[in-house]
Amino acid sequence: MSSAPRVVVLDYGSGNVHSAVRALQRVGAEVELTRDTEKVLEADGLVVPGVGAFGAVMDALKAIDAPRWIGRRIAGNRPVLGICVGHQTLFERGVEHGVAAEGMGEWPGEVTALPEDAVVPHMGWNTVRPAAGSVLFDGIEQERFYFVHSYAVQGWNFDSTIPSMAPPQVTWAHHGADFIAAVENGPLSATQFHPEKSGGAGMHLLQNWVGSLR
């Protein structure tokens, strides 16, 4: 019987997910691309990728009931990792071309356009400023990661006064303005960049995440 962590990459129509599947397999996970409810809920880890427009990705996720599945996993302390627009949809809402769409609201914040004086899309390698004690960035605090995006969450306002709740760990990057590059919040983690396209550093990050599932 395999002792490898079982990871589901959520299949909801998002493009180019096979690179994420292959990267997770390379770091030791048993990976399946599926939207099967039982497998999504029972896997050791769930990866939610995303490319394209915020509103379109949210519509596709809602069409297969994914927000409810993700909420059930979080409530049950079962790990979830969002990537790129999959990261963005975990916030309260996104605004693209003046049109607002509701996100999943797991974290406060609004996904908005990067500053006009920045070159967009932000495409290529960039450094990040990891949160102290980060599990995802353990051993790769000084590395660069690969970004492809024109929108991001550029502020953070989280009520950390609730005694029973540890505040999320927020990692920042800069492109025209500071923006959130990653969040780690109990079972829920997400990255604005693409770890599966980030070479050795991205593989190390995925290995850190998969290792936390054991």
Is 175 an active-site residue?
Answer: no
124-143: per-residue pLDDT in tens?
999 999 999 999 999 999 99
Look at residues 122, 112, 146, 106 and name the one whose alpha carbon lies nearest to residue 23: 146
Q: Residue 205 in contact with residue 182, Cβ under 8 Å?
A: no
What's the N-to-C CA distance of the chain in angstroms?
15
Is 30 an active-site residue?
Answer: no
87, 175, 194, 204: the active-site residue: 194
Look at residues 10, 179, 178 and name the one whose alpha carbon lies nearest to residue 82: 10
Q: Which amino acid is at 17?
A: V
Is 102 an active-site residue?
Answer: no
Structure tokens at 186: 């109990």
10-46: per-residue pLDDT in tens?
999 987 799 999 999 999 999 999 999 999 999 999 9
| pLDDT level of residue 162 (50, 70, 90 thresholds) | low
Is the pLDDT reported for residue 186 higher than 80?
yes
Distance, CA of 151 to CA of 64 (rounded, Å): 25
Residue 165: the pLDDT is 61
106, 143, 184, 196: the active-site residue: 196
30, 84, 116, 149: the active-site residue: 84
50-95: per-residue pLDDT in tens?
999 999 999 999 999 999 999 999 999 999 999 999 999 999 999 9
pTM of the model: 0.95
Residue 94, beta-bridge partner list? 101, 111
Residue 45: the pLDDT is 98
Is the pLDDT reported for residue 196 higher than 60?
yes
| pLDDT level of residue 1 (50, 70, 90 thresholds) | very low
